[in-house]
Structures are given as structure tokens and as C-alpha cells.
Structure 1
Amino acid sequence: MSNSRVQAGVSRRGFLGGAVSGLAIAGVASGFAPAFAAPKDAFIDGLIAKMSVEEKAGQLSLYSDPVRTEAATFNPSVASVPKTQMLADIAAGKITGLFNGMGVALGRELQKAAVETSPHGIPLIFAADIIHGMKTVFPIPMAEAASFDPELSRRTNRVAALEATACGLHWTFSPAVDVVRDQRWGRTAEAAGEDTWLACQFAAARVKGFQGDDLKAETSLLACLKHFAAYGAVEGGMDYNTVEITEQTLRQTHLPSFQAGITAGALSVMSSFNDIGGVPSTGNRRLLTDILRGEMGFKGFVVSDFTSEEELILHGFAADGRDAAKKAILAGCDMSMQSGIYMKYLPDLVRSGEVPMSVLDEAVRRVLRVKQAIGLFDNPYRSLDAKREQTQLRLPESLALAREAARRACVLLKNDGDVLPLKKTGQKIALIGPLADDLNQLNGYWVVFPDTRKDITVAMAMRGIVGDGNLNVVRGADIDAPIPGGIDAAVAAAKAADVVVLCIGEGQEMSGEAQSRTEITVPAAQQALAEAVAATGKPVVVVLSHGRALALEGAVRNAQAILCTWFLGSEAGNGIADLLFGDHSPSGRLPCSFPQKSGQEPFYYNHRATGRPQLSETDINYRTRYRDASFEPLYPFGHGLTYGRIVYGPTQLSADSLPWAGQVTVSVTIANSGTRPVHEVAQLYIRDRVASVTQPIRSLKGVRHLDLAAGESKTVTFALTRADLAFVGLSMNWQAEPGEFDIWIAPSSSAGTSARLKLLKA
């Protein structure tokens, strides 16, 4: 437990003035440990000494690739550098790298121009948004987090790195380690959910998966932690919006996942679009220098998000491009992405003395050290192997992993009357909905190099199991609009079937960057389809596709079974069919709470207690609740059913008190009284009953996975220490306080029987 917790001792002056403080709590690091502390290097310093100011600015300038243009378009249109100018700038040593292009042959040509023609032979770095797979596409990050298994994420990101480096890439703009508390925000799809502890585990696993054991290896893909910082706290869940949070919340909720990624070895960080307290992140020296480097010990480089350094102007923080470049570089943003303002303005800013040469040199040093760390100076043509490009994409073992990840990401929200699993024979199935058989709706957002030709839809997988004679596939409606005669055809199919499988939800373009929604519901056309099908009286299994938690309504909410499937990637259909027909039992758990209504957002399980909580269903007057809904989720964080009958015993403690420097064992016996084997996910939660700063009503502190055969019982245990009870106090230090704590081992954040533990004074 305490070994996996990633926390830090940071003083109040850390945010306000950049000081570093230690922490005298066992099991918690005393300060932030650096992940990469390269010593002064004579080779790097010799290069810097020979470079012109223009060449230095070039090493801080990253552009989209105009030569290898196979990527889908995700970013806004901006003035791009013409191909001929780009090649000339590479030859002149005025570009550090290119992003969102792929291909080994042209990559070698570009690298040859940099290494053999530019004045100092500094190699380019090739980057791309490899968010959840290259050619083999895995579940979106939020879906993968539903496995509650960081090791699965490490494995999928290792395959993503294998394929990306086979296509000529060195660096990915991933993982997103934002903690997300508002499901209206489209970029929830990229994150690991609403819990800080879980976000830390997945941040570390994803970095290790991308980078592997050796940064210089051909298959190592440099990770980039984003978005620094607190982007998941944008007001109203609206992308690019402002952030207003307390320093305590910043430190306790939003910074630990970045620390986890840094400790795991990440050498690049991306600044976020948002401001915090009126200071945009890309121009926030306290954030990028005092905290990230001074406190957290980060030794890599910071890259702006797409033109975010230029956007300081529209924020009203910089007067013009020159002022924006000055403020960003002085804040600690080392690399400019796409805008070109560093190349345009830094040389004159340095010559005028407004930006010290030492600041420019240190930014260049950080970038060159990372290029050195990933082996580009030793082998500029690493990850540019034509044979690998032909032999390492969509391997059978990669697709098998994609199928495993797909089924482990699915969360069974509801299964009344055991309508699931379906029968493989003797049952007529109506497969209805716009997401049942659409190859273009499997991957979700941020697949830059899509190749869906061999992907598997639900309809394709189900036909392979039950045959065409027992399966009737009807679209019924489009994602956002009705189809003439569509509902009539769907109703007819439902009436002729024994059971309906209704594949509905968000289209993949409805979540992701710039896709915030005020109503996080199933689109109206599909809701009408669901109502009509449900009116036939046939049992309905809803298979939801989505990039966020949804507020379910009407016939969707009331369906006999609901399987939450997110966007699952290349093997989506096979993974879902594995569960629908009972070849595997569902095991996923919600990494984000499903609200009853959109208006509950922002909503998260680990909120603080108020002075007037609703204590029972009938206790509704003058309580913390809405007039038309309680202050409870429709489905809570951590929730997920299996095909078993799972019973948790009471939470047991090895002792009622925890010595200041000791530990206690927490255990529970879990039984499967059903007839099918299952995979269960046991979760450890705590609550600090009285503290100097009010604490969440529950906080996740650990997870255990266990397989249970039919009729089998097992006992799971956790070790709990004082470090697991710590929080950020009024001094902005991590601290634990003596007192009483409630402890649960439970199947979700709203279940289980608690035990009482007392933390003793030193």
C-alpha cells in the first residue's frame, strides 16, 4: 500500500514561491525525487557553445510534419510551414522535430538532412499523438482504466510503442494523467477517471509501457505527461476553460499523478491550455519552474500544447507574439509547438537582453539531454527500420491483447433477471442500433493513423457465433438523426426476436478534445429508438458506446441489462461478444461515477462531507441534494457486476489501533455463491472522520484482483500504514493526524461494511 502511494512533501511556498520542504512521514517520499538527473555533459555543452542563437531557437521549435502527412486532422487550422521551407530549415538546424507524420523511408530522408547537412548534425525527434494504439487500437484510456489493472495498461502501451517506433516515431504526447471531476469535459476519454490514487497507478504504468526498460532501445517511445496542470478541473467541463481551485486541491488531487509519471521516468511534460487563478499554465513560472522542477524534481523538458504559448495573447496575458514568447520561455516552457513564435522572436529577445542567454541555453540543454537520453546522438536512425515497419504491425499477439483489453474494459452496470449471458443456440437475437455494425465507430477519439479494414464490429463477432439465421441486424437510427422507417424496422425485428441487443450511445466524434457537452445523455434519435424497442416488451440488453460517463434516461436506464463498453478499438466486437455469450465474465469497474442527471456535474464519489448531508432516503429537507435528484450517483465509482453471486464479509482489522510507525492488516472474505467463475476487483477505502481539513467521504487506497470459481471463497488482505492516511494540510505539507478512520474493503465506493481504526500519536 504505502509503497505504491505517490505523494510528496511540499510547502505552501512551493506554489507561491517555489520553496522545497521535506516530509517526516514514513512511507512518503521526503520531497519529490528526480526521475532523470543527467550531470553536466561536455558533449552537450560543447554543442551549445557552438550554436548560433537562431539554431538554439530552432532546437526549441516543433512543427507538424508537412512531408509525411498520413495523420488524421485533430488540431485547429494554423499557418503551416511549407514543405520546401521546412526542408531548408531542417538543413539549417532550425527545427528540433516534427509531429504527426509517419513512415520510415521519408523519416530517414528527413533525419539524413538534419544529421548530414545541418551545421551541428543534431538529429530530429519524431513525435505523434499515440494515445491508445498505433495500428492495433486498444480501448480509450478511460476504458482501460475500467480494468482497474495498471499492468494491463503497461502491456497495451508497450505494444503501442512497438508499433509506433516501427513506423518511425520516437515520442508520444501521452499519457494524459489529468484527474477528471466533470464528465461534460470531452477529454475525460483520455484520462483514468476521477480518483487520484487510480490515476497515479495508471500514470506510472503507461509511462513504463511506452518507454520500456531502456530509453535507447529501438522500441522505446518517449512519454509525455499532460496536461500540466489541473486541466481536468476546467470550469463547467468546458475545454480550454479557466480553472479556479485551492492550492490544497491542486496539491492533493491534481499533482500526484504527474509525480507518479515523473518517478516512473517520464522526461517530457506538456503544459495545459487552462489558466489557474488567472495565470495561463504555459506562462506560469510558479507552476513550470518552482513546482515542476524545484519541488517535483523534473529534469526533462516542457513542451507547449498546440500553440498554447501563442495563446497567451488571447488569454490577455501577453501583448503580442514577442511578449508571449518571452513570458513562456521565462516561465519554463522549453519547446514551442507549431506556432513558430520561439523561432521568430527568441533571437531578438536574447540579443536585447530581455531573455538571458542562460535561460535559452538551459532550455536547449534540456531538449538535447533528452535527445541524448533516448539514443538519438548515438544512433540518429533508431526506430527508422524498414523491416520493422513491414513486420511488427497488428501482430496476432497484439490483436489478442487488444481483445483481452476490450473485454476487461467493459463494465456490467445491470443484469436483472440474468438476461446475460446470451445463448449461443436456440435464441433469436435482434441486434439493433447505429453502433452495432459501423467500423468507423469502434476506436473513439485520438487515433491518428486509423486502419479499420480488419477491425471487428459487434455484428461481425455475433454472426460468427450464432450465424445469420439467429441474428437480425437493424440500424434503426443514425447517431444524431432518425432514419426514415428505421424505428418501424427495429420494432419489427424486436417483436420477432427472443432478446434485443441495443447498440447505442455516443458517436466517437462526440467525446475527445473540443467535444464538451452540456447534456451527457444518449442522443435523442437513439433514445427514441430505445423507447420504441422497449415498448415491445422484449428483454433489452443495452450495449453502450461512449467516451465519458452518461446520464441514462427512460428505456435505456430501465433496460434489463446494461453493458458499458466505451470505445474499445480494433477488437471491440470480439471483446464484447466474449462477454455477451459468457465465454468470460465481466470484470470492469467504473473509473468515473455515472450521474442521475447531467446537472449533477461536476460529480465524483470522493467529495467532502457537508454540514447537512442527506442521511437517509426520507431525510430530504434542508439537506445537500437537488430538488429533483438526490446527491447520489446512478452508478458509483468502482461499480461493476460479474456473472457470479459475490458476497463480501465484514471488513476485519488485525488491530483496532495503528501505531504511528506501525501497520495493520485489513482483510475480508469474498465468496462466489454463483454457478460461474468470475474475476473480482476488491477495493480498499478509508475515511478520516475528523481532520484539520475536511476530507473525502471515502478515498481509494488499494485494489486486489482475485479469481473465484463457482462456490469458492477467498480472503484478500491489505497492509495499511500512516502514509495511507495522509492528506495535504493547512501548511500545504502532506501529513497524517491521530484520530479515528473508517476502513472498507468493498466492491464499490458506496458498498461494504466498515471497520473503525484509530491512528495513535507518536
Structure 2
Amino acid sequence: MPLSMASIWLLCAVAPCSAHGAVPGASGAPALGPAERARRLVARMTVAEKLSMLHGPAGGSAQCSVSPRCAYVGNVAPIERLGIPPINMNDGPQGFRTADAQKGTSTAWPAGITLAASWDEAAALEWGRGMGKEFYDKGSNIQLGPGLNVARVPVNGRNFEYLSGEDPYLGYRMVQPVVKGIQSQKVLANAKHFILNNQETNRGAVSAETDERTRFEVYYPPFEGAIEAGVASVMCSYNKINNVYSCENPTTLRELRSLGFEGFVMSDWGAAHSTSIAAGLDVEQPGQDWMNAELLEAALKSGAVKEAQVDDSVRRILTQLYAIGVMDEPLGTWDWRNRLRNVTTAASVASARKLSGLGTVLLRNEGQLLPLRKTGQRVAVIGLADEKAIYHAGGSGSVEPSFVSTPLQGITDAAKALGSQVTFDDGSCALRAAALAKTSDVVLVFVGTLSAEGSDRGSLSLDVGVDWHSQNALVAAVALAAGAKTAVVVTTPGAVLLPWSREVAAIVSNFMPGQQAGNAIADILFGHVNPSGKLPLTFPNHDNETDFSPAQYPGLPNPRVPFYAFYTERLLVGYRYYEHHNISFTTGFPFGHGLSYTSFEYSQLDIQGTLGGMKVSFLVRNTGSLPGSEVAQLYLYFPEAAGEPLQLKGFQKTSTLAPGSAQEVSLLLRPRELSIWNNGEHRWMPVDGRFQVRIGSSSRDIRIKGEFFYGTQAFV
């Protein structure tokens, strides 16, 4: 006799979980779709099982070696009766961060700021896929990244983690392929830190005082890009917004949903301050101080929390586990012992080298000192190029690899192929280094600084953030001895001051380059790779060039322990401030700047209206002698009445163009790009009037100009 449907459900409910896969039939056929499969599974769960999915283990221990319940940075226990696997979360935004016992078993990829400097969506996709594969291979099904915060504060200690640089549109575009890449590997991406976590100074208590328009125009777009790419989860931040903690802020968490987010919200580690499921928090990590069964059961009993709200949170989690493919993998895929695997491969190391090169920016190249292609030269390498070389910054964004390619080794290998001789000096004595520079044919000086989660940099100077505090004096001494034959490589977690920039022939920045730092920078210096990176943030002429008051940063009433940071600059973040105040660059470099070993010409601008938007087309031609790629950038001036600053609204990296060849670039300006946020209407409102188009190689290197009239009364 065939079994009734009720009998089938009963058998499924009591059947033991297979060691190799989910319980057959427990979650419905894939054809049902993730949402329906999740709904059916939630209907079969007990209240206790539901509540167990909303927090980490008691005590909040993480990356332990004694139990699968605390093996990763973040852990949610499995529900074996229903075949629900453990949720294994791990840092971080640029690779799998290992505990001490597993150091050297994953790849230290270039940091988020380096990928932002590539302005290359194909590179971002490769980066996401590469990291996602390593997380999968180590049994982690949630990568705690990418980081998306806009670099409002140049000295922010975590700017190196973030894909947005200082521009919301850059973040909006760059995050989408990263999310798709991570999640293509059956690993959930986690966009962080939502929202306004723009400083580390008193990050656990400071309140970001902002208006609605500022949030929607400057700080939400990168998260909106992640949402459009289908990001599974978002991490709420430590700080307050308008005096309410992010993880219990009903306004900003509601606004997150208004952006179209359908995934689940988890707290940053220790950022929950209440049982805030009703406000929009779904999962507390790393422990269960506020979202534990005892408090939630009491809230359910009192009516402060409805069981439907618990169901919604669990359904959101399960829907994403289904959608990304986690639930349909054999359970052994998420075995905690997999974290012991060495997942670094020849392919991942090669990719890290390639991506680091793509995110390297040539800032200056007077006299075409670079690339180094002459044979038989005497090459001096000075400074932080040996084992002291910087390759990543600190905190949850750090990864300890099995090896680091140092600049000294990479340059030595490349020079050997040209029959050139390399001599190294650590730069500890400026006079000795200058003497070596004077007798060399080419001088390569390596300088850099660091930052880390938990504190902001004291200054943008190279002499802050590292143990050695005489780097500017070293460069000045070398420049005096051999300026015209001196190239400086700057490794930095964000914006930096270069007071000697006009005294040396060439400057290259590789930001935080990852474990292939040496080979990647040698590829650039010797011309094996033609640089195509662009600055994702402004390099100022001096500290606090945007004239932040103490109330803006670090905040008041006491700047040492601020409790309120006032975002009174509103939309004038980064280069927008520079353009609004017409600040010239004497030693710094503008947003979007980056040179090539070849040259490009822009022409044939054509602007046409499309259904609801505008299409802007133009031609980019390689007018130099070497193959190369250009990142063409489109900036808009809104009609004067709108009061909007100059804004990046489009970019595209060309293919590698042979000398003399050209590529047509077409950029679509959607109605969204032609709108401003209206606080009264709580929506985007298109602007009527004459827009000015500026297209070029940076925010200050505009090659062609145009204008168009845009008029509509419809809301977007």
C-alpha cells in the first residue's frame, strides 16, 4: 500500500541524518525554489530548533581546536534531525584568515583597496571566485566580506579592506562581480559593515549623525550593488546611527530592506546590544548574549516578539543557504576538519600575482624612467624590500600565507634576465643609501605604512604606522642624490602624503598587494605588465585637507573618546570636496589618476537619449607604442539648481589595445544616475535640466566634454 503524505512527512521527521548528505526529501525538490523549500522546512522545525539558528555558541568562543561548535570565527550549530548543516563563518574580506595552528594554509590575496584601484570588474570577479573556492575547500560556507564602507575619513584604520574607495558609485559597481564570484563557489557573501562604520576611533559607541539623503546618496549605494548581485547576508556595524546602535536601528535596517535586500542580517562580533529581532537583526555573533533561547522565549511569551518574526529570520537564513547551494552539498563539505586543509594552489598564487598587478597605480613617470628594459644596469633597491616588506594590514582583514614574494627577490629575478646587477640597502642610514643611489643607474626605493582594525592612523604620513620613522627623510636624501633616476614604490592601506613627489622621477603605489607583492611589483617595474590601475581615493597634499572639524572627526564631546561624529559635509566626501573648493595638487594626486606606459586619446563623443536615460559613447585610441588598457571615467555636473557636486557616474576599462587601435566605449546613465534623494518624499527624484558631461582619465584629467538636457516628472 502506498504511504500517505502524512506518513512520508513523519518518516522524514524521524529519519536520522545521513553522514554524506541532507535527509532525503527533508527540504523538498530543488524545482520548488529556495523560498518555498525554506518555507516548508521552517514549518517542520520546533521553536527550539528555530531559536538555535539565531546565535553562536554559548561563551562566543571562535576558531577553537576542540569542537566543531567553535571551530570557525562564527558558528551556528547544525540541526541534524533535518539535515541542516553547520553555518561556518570566517574572516575575511581578502582571504581565509586562519588560527595560529593553520597559518600558511590559505592565500593572502590583495586587499579590497587594491582591487578598488584596478577599476576592473573582470578582476573583481576572479578575486571573488578565488577567495570563495578557498573558503569552500576549508569547509566555510560564509565569507565575512566583502567590505564596502566609503572612505569618508582618510586615516580610517580599515580603509584597506574596502572596495568603495571614497566613491559610492565605484563601490556599487565593483562589489557586484565580487559577490557573484564568491557565491558561485557555494559560499555566502557577507556585505559589511552596515552602516556608517567610517572610523575605528571609539567605533563601539560613536554615533554617526547623518540625514537621510546623505545615507542614500553616499553610503548606501555600495550595499545596493551587493543587493543587486544577490548578496546573501549583511553585517550590521558596531557604531550608532543617530544615537541608536546599528544592529538594533529600526530606521537603517528598514532602509536596508527598502533597497531590496532579502537576505539575513548578522551582527558584527559583539555588536548586538539587545534582543533586537523585531528591529531587523537575524543572527547574533559570535555568542548568544542577547539572541539566546531564554531571552527569546521570554519575549515570545510576553508578546514582545512574535513567532512569525522568528520564522521570518529563520526562513531568510535557510532561503539563502538553498539559493547559494549550501543545503544541497554533502554534509561532509562543511566538516570542521576541512579547515586544516592547505588550500593554496599554484593557480591561486598566480591569480594573486595577476590581481596585484592590475591594482597597481603608476602615479608619476617623468622621462619615461619606467619600465626598466635596458640591459646590464646597476639597480639599487633601498628600503622595505626584503623580509620587512609590507604586504597586508592587520585585524580581521589579515591573512598569514605560507610564503611572501619580497620585492627584493622579485626584482632580482627580473633583473637577472636582463643581465643587470641588484644591490640592496635597507635604508636605515639615509647617507649610505644616498651614496649607493648616486653610483647606480636606477634606484628603486620601497616605502610604506600600515593600519589595522581597532584604531585609526595618527596621520597620513609615511612616518606613522610603522616602526621605522625616517622614510620621508630617506626618500628626500635619495632624491637629492639621484632624483632623475629614482622610482619610489609606496605600499599603503589608503591615502598617504608624498611631500617629495615632484623630486623623484617615478612613483608607483600597490596599496596592500598580498603575498605575491614582490613578483607583482617586478612585473610592473620591468614592463611585463603595463599598469592600468587608478586611484580609488585622493592622495592629499597635507593632513586634513578636507578641513574636518573635531565635531566631524573624530567627534565630540571629547575627541579622544568621541560619542557623536557629525556628517555635516554631507555629500562632499573625498574628491567631491576637492572639486567643490577647486583645490590644486602640489604634492598629492587626484581621485581616478593613474598613468600607463602608453598614451590614450579620447574622441567622437556622442550623447543619445534612451528609454528613461542617456547613452554616452566615445572612442578611446592607443596613441603610444605599447599595448595597454585604459579606465575611461565619466563625471557629471548636475543642473546648477540641484546643488550636487561633481560625481563619478560611469567607467569602463578597455580591452588591451594595440598601438594605434581603438575601442568604442558606451556608458549608460540610468534615471537613477540622473536623480537625487528627496528626504520629504523618501525616494529618488530625477532632476530636470542641463547636465554637463566630463570624460577622461581621472577626475582632473578631462579629455572631452559635452552636455545634454534631461527632463521628466516621473519618480524612479
The TM-score bracket by the shorter chain reads 0.7 to 0.9
* One-letter amino acid of the counterpart of residue 496, structure 1: T
Tell me by how many angstroms 1:243 deviates: 1.2
Tell me by how many angstroms 1:440 deviates: 6.6
Could you give the per-residue CA deviations for residues 503-537 of structure 1, whole angstroms, max 9, x where no partner exists? Answer: 1011xxx3232231231111132122222222323
- Equivalent residue number for residue 123 of structure 1: 85
Distance 2:521 2:231 in 1: 33
**Counterpart check, 1:547 vs 2:493:** yes
Three-state SS of the structure 2 residue aligned to 1:537 is helix
Tell me by how many angstroms 1:115 deviates: 5.3
In structure 1, the gaps of 5 or more residues are: 1-35, 71-82, 91-96, 102-106, 213-218, 311-323, 478-485, 615-624
1:11-50 correspondence runs (5 A): 38-39=35-36, 41=38, 43-48=40-45, 50=46
Could you give the per-residue CA deviations for residues 34-56 of structure 1, whole angstroms, max 9, x where no partner exists? Answer: xx9824755423343x233xx54
Q: Which among 633, 636, 644 is matched to residue 590 of structure 2? A: 636
- Equivalent residue number for residue 514 of structure 1: 454
**Counterpart check, 1:676 vs 2:626:** yes
Distance 2:444 2:135 in 1: 36
- Equivalent residue number for residue 25 of structure 1: none
Tell me by how many angstroms 1:652 deviates: 2.1
Tell me by how many angstroms 1:638 deviates: 1.0
Tell me by how many angstroms 1:712 deviates: 3.9
Distance 1:382 1:746, change over 3 A: farther
Distance 1:171 1:683 in 2: 34
**Counterpart check, 1:274 vs 2:274:** no
How many residue pairs match? The answer is: 633
Could you give the per-residue CA deviations for residues 401-429 of structure 1, whole angstroms, max 9, x where no partner exists? Answer: 21111111000001111111123522111
Distance 1:631 1:469 in 2: 36
1:9-88 correspondence runs (5 A): 38-39=35-36, 41=38, 43-48=40-45, 50-52=46-48, 55-63=49-57, 69=64
- Equivalent residue number for residue 136 of structure 1: 107
**Counterpart check, 1:502 vs 2:442:** no
1:365-384 correspondence runs (5 A): 365-379=315-329, 381-384=331-334
Tell me by how many angstroms 1:469 deviates: 6.8
- Equivalent residue number for residue 21 of structure 1: none
Could you give the per-residue CA deviations for residues 321-350 of structure 1, whole angstroms, max 9, x where no partner exists? Answer: xxx23xx22211111112421226333333
Q: Which among 337, 344, 356 is matched to residue 285 of structure 2? A: 337
Distance 2:41 2:373 in 1: 65
Distance 1:280 1:238 in 2: 11
- Equivalent residue number for residue 23 of structure 1: none
Distance 2:264 2:358 in 1: 35
Seq. identity, %:
30
* One-letter amino acid of the counterpart of residue 569, structure 1: G
Distance 1:37 1:275, change over 3 A: farther
- Equivalent residue number for residue 73 of structure 2: 100
- Equivalent residue number for residue 587 of structure 1: 532
Distance 2:308 2:241 in 1: 28
- Equivalent residue number for residue 78 of structure 1: none
**Counterpart check, 1:464 vs 2:430:** no
Tell me by how many angstroms 1:568 deviates: 1.1
- Equivalent residue number for residue 726 of structure 1: 675
* One-letter amino acid of the counterpart of residue 367, structure 2: G
- Equivalent residue number for residue 204 of structure 1: 176
Distance 1:662 1:169, change over 3 A: closer
Q: Which among 341, 365, 376 is matched to residue 415 of structure 1? A: 365
- In the alignment, is the contact (CA less than 8 A) between 2:694 and 2:706 conserved in 1? yes
Could you give the per-residue CA deviations for residues 539-586 of structure 1, whole angstroms, max 9, x where no partner exists? Answer: 221100111011222x35532111011111122111111110112211
Three-state SS of the structure 2 residue aligned to 1:444 is coil
**Counterpart check, 1:696 vs 2:645:** yes
Q: Which among 223, 243, 246 is matched to residue 189 of structure 2? A: 223
- Equivalent residue number for residue 211 of structure 2: 246
* One-letter amino acid of the counterpart of residue 292, structure 1: L
Q: Cα RMSD (Å) of the superposition?
A: 3.2
Q: Which among 292, 307, 322 is matched to residue 256 of structure 2? A: 292
* One-letter amino acid of the counterpart of residue 433, structure 2: A
Distance 1:682 1:698 in 2: 14
Tell me by how many angstroms 1:662 deviates: 6.0
Distance 1:211 1:237, change over 3 A: same
Could you give the per-residue CA deviations for residues 426-461 of structure 1, whole angstroms, max 9, x where no partner exists? Answer: 211111112x11277323345778443433111111
Distance 1:548 1:274, change over 3 A: same
- Equivalent residue number for residue 309 of structure 1: 272
- Equivalent residue number for residue 600 of structure 2: 646
**Counterpart check, 1:754 vs 2:697:** no
Three-state SS of the structure 1 residue aligned to 2:629 is strand
- In the alignment, is the contact (CA less than 8 A) between 1:476 and 1:490 conserved in 2? yes
Q: Which among 122, 125, 133 is matched to residue 154 of structure 1? A: 125
TM (norm. structure 1) is 0.76
Question: Stretches of 4+ moved more than 6 A in 1?
Answer: 235-240, 385-392
Tell me by how many angstroms 1:723 deviates: 4.4
- In the alignment, is the contact (CA less than 8 A) between 1:185 and 1:239 conserved in 2? no
- In the alignment, is the contact (CA less than 8 A) between 1:608 and 1:697 conserved in 2? no
Distance 1:375 1:411, change over 3 A: closer
Tell me by how many angstroms 1:231 deviates: 2.2
- Equivalent residue number for residue 222 of structure 2: 257
Q: Which among 180, 183, 187 is matched to residue 151 of structure 2? A: 180
* One-letter amino acid of the counterpart of residue 130, structure 1: G
Distance 1:548 1:159, change over 3 A: same
**Counterpart check, 1:476 vs 2:431:** no
- In the alignment, is the contact (CA less than 8 A) between 2:38 and 2:322 conserved in 1? no
Distance 1:634 1:158 in 2: 34
Distance 2:311 2:711 in 1: 51
- In the alignment, is the contact (CA less than 8 A) between 1:133 and 1:447 conserved in 2? no
Distance 2:313 2:85 in 1: 17
Three-state SS of the structure 2 residue aligned to 1:707 is coil
In structure 2, the gaps of 5 or more residues are: 1-32, 97-105, 464-468, 549-572
* One-letter amino acid of the counterpart of residue 445, structure 2: L
- In the alignment, is the contact (CA less than 8 A) between 1:458 and 1:576 conserved in 2? yes
* One-letter amino acid of the counterpart of residue 227, structure 1: H
* One-letter amino acid of the counterpart of residue 576, structure 1: I
Three-state SS of the structure 2 residue aligned to 1:186 is coil
Distance 1:488 1:227, change over 3 A: same
- Equivalent residue number for residue 558 of structure 2: none
- In the alignment, is the contact (CA less than 8 A) between 1:740 and 1:756 conserved in 2? yes
* One-letter amino acid of the counterpart of residue 44, structure 1: L
Three-state SS of the structure 1 residue aligned to 2:265 is strand
- In the alignment, is the contact (CA less than 8 A) between 2:139 and 2:338 conserved in 1? no
* One-letter amino acid of the counterpart of residue 643, structure 1: Y
Three-state SS of the structure 1 residue aligned to 2:626 is coil
Tell me by how many angstroms 1:740 deviates: 0.7
Distance 1:702 1:421, change over 3 A: closer
Tell me by how many angstroms 1:590 deviates: 0.7
Distance 2:487 2:664 in 1: 33
Distance 1:750 1:56, change over 3 A: same
Distance 1:504 1:355 in 2: 55
Three-state SS of the structure 2 residue aligned to 1:297 is coil
Tell me by how many angstroms 1:631 deviates: 8.5
* One-letter amino acid of the counterpart of residue 192, structure 2: K
